[in-house]
Amino acid sequence: MSDQRLQRKVGLSGAVFLLIGHIVGASIFILPGQLAGIAGPAVFIAYLIAGIPAVVNCLIAAQVGSILPVSAGDYVFTSIALHPLLGFLKVWAGMLGLMVGVPILAFGFADYMAYFLPGVPRLVIAIGVVLAVLGVNLLGLHTSVRTQMTMVSIFVASLLIFGIGGLFYVDWSLLEPMAPNGAGSVISAAIPAFYSYSGFLTIVVIGEEIQNPRRNVPLTLLISFIIIALIYTLVTLVLPGLVPWQKLGTIVAPMGSAAATFLPDWFAVVITVSALLAAATSINTAVLTTSRSFFALARNRVYPEMFGHLSPRTHEPHSALVLVVVFVMMGIAVQGDIVQYAAVTVIGSMIYGMVWAVAMLRLTKAFPEHYRGATFRLRPRTIWIIAAVKMTVSLAFLYVGFRDNLGPGLVYLVLLGMGAVYYYFRQQFLVREGISLEALLRREVDEAAASAAS
């Protein structure tokens, strides 16, 4: 297995840009306007509520990522702490999330690209951007990270200009009443709003390729969360203060309309380009990280070994990259609604949030030596508090998510069940071949620890 370990090519700055680019997608240019139509001016409160489970996710990712710096660390952690089936279903759920999450970004990209290519069908543009991202990743991780850093720098700068500058032009009377549709509407809006915060646990998936992970994983999460929370708070506070919330819910490009109230006309082009870049960076990281999950499971024989092959030139899993893009194309073909896409993605995240909560309680017993040697180490009492908050928030969000999206939620559960069936038959095959998944997982952990220490 050691000859299939990935190289540590990503430093602290690269990891920060990857994570910010993954989380701050085109949804921040579209979703706040639609959610303002639900929650009114209190949309920024919905985003603050959505930030609570995001903080918990950051703490979990910092702890797990620092003690298990391995590809698909979420799979390895859950498998050893609880059961390999649950670890596998975490990756399977990630695949389902990819099939609904990336299409949001791809179609968001297409909607903004219509400004420059008005006659091109959005489906063609959505497919085109995903194929372009695949091409960049096939060139290698260094190319992917450098491209990410350039694009993230541009769209973060434009978002800060909009958010900070907009504060001086807010019509505070537009923010009254704060929650015209009641507190329940704010909670309902917080469910899809969490989609804009989802992704912090992604850092655990690429831990094997991060330099000095025991230090850089926690630092990456801290720096990224501060920047992202600042951007989201500014944008969601300023938007309904510039454009009436009733109108925001009906506008295709709400941020462009809001920017036009106080910024020069040419800045609308900057907003459009920034939305394109934000969508592209999120697609880039989603494809990159999911390919690492597929690679890790192929390395552990859960998926066919062909997806664990490494490119001779880059020493990276190109076959897994191609497979991931195939699944993305299947999701694009469905062409769902962005709010529904976001809600279903969050349902999946919350289902596994409960699993993570239980797994965290087992962390110190399942990984005693790794826990004691970790640079970032949460106290046992803190772990219990985090697990309790994670479980409570996951249950609450899950209830509201199923209440408002029962049909898609049930379909998601059926697809999750299909994953369990696949795992059962694959495990039976491996048993007949004399292969122990538990032994492979333990070897994975030991090799990861040795690699991180060297």
Q: What is the C-alpha to C-alpha distance for residues 286 and 101, in angstroms, rounded to an integer?
A: 9
* C-beta separation of 243 from 254 below 8 A: yes
Partners of 71 in beta bridges? 206
Nearest Cα residue to 32 out of 220, 267, 226, 190: 190
Task: Tell me the per-residue pLDDT of 106-155, one tens digit each, with 9 for 90 and over.
Answer: 887 888 888 899 889 999 999 999 999 999 999 999 999 999 999 999 99
- CB-hemisphere CA count at 13 Å for 55? 12
By the 10 Å C-beta count (0-12 exposed, 13-18 middle, 19+ buried), 65 is classed as buried
Angstrom CA distances, 223 to 46, 157, 334, 366, 379, stand at: 22, 16, 36, 29, 22
pLDDT of 379:
92
pLDDT in tens, the chain (454 residues): 445 788 899 999 999 999 999 998 777 887 888 899 889 999 999 999 989 888 989 999 999 998 888 888 888 899 999 988 998 988 888 888 788 778 878 887 888 888 899 889 999 999 999 999 999 999 999 999 999 999 999 999 999 999 999 999 999 999 999 988 898 889 888 878 887 888 898 899 999 999 999 899 999 999 999 999 999 999 999 999 999 998 988 887 788 889 989 999 888 889 889 989 998 999 999 999 999 999 999 988 899 888 888 999 999 999 999 999 999 998 888 765 555 666 666 677 778 888 889 999 999 998 888 888 888 899 999 999 999 998 998 888 788 778 877 777 787 888 889 999 999 999 899 889 888 887 888 787 777 666 655 5
pTM of the model: 0.88
pLDDT of 253:
75
pLDDT of 343:
64
Q: What is the C-alpha to C-alpha distance for residues 4 and 446, in angstroms, rounded to an integer?
A: 14
pLDDT of 142:
94
Query: Domain 2-453 falls in which CATH fold?
Result: Amino acid/polyamine transporter I (1.20.1740)
* Dihedral sign, Cα of residue 246, residue 252, residue 255, residue 256: negative
CA 427 to chain centre: 28
Q: What is the C-alpha to C-alpha distance for residues 163 and 167, in angstroms, rounded to an integer?
A: 7
Q: Where are the domains of the chain?
A: 2-453
Q: Strand, coil or helix: what is 71?
A: strand
Please give the backbone phi and psi of residue 210, each rounded to the nearest 5 degrees, phi first. Answer: -95, 130
* C-beta separation of 21 from 281 below 8 A: yes
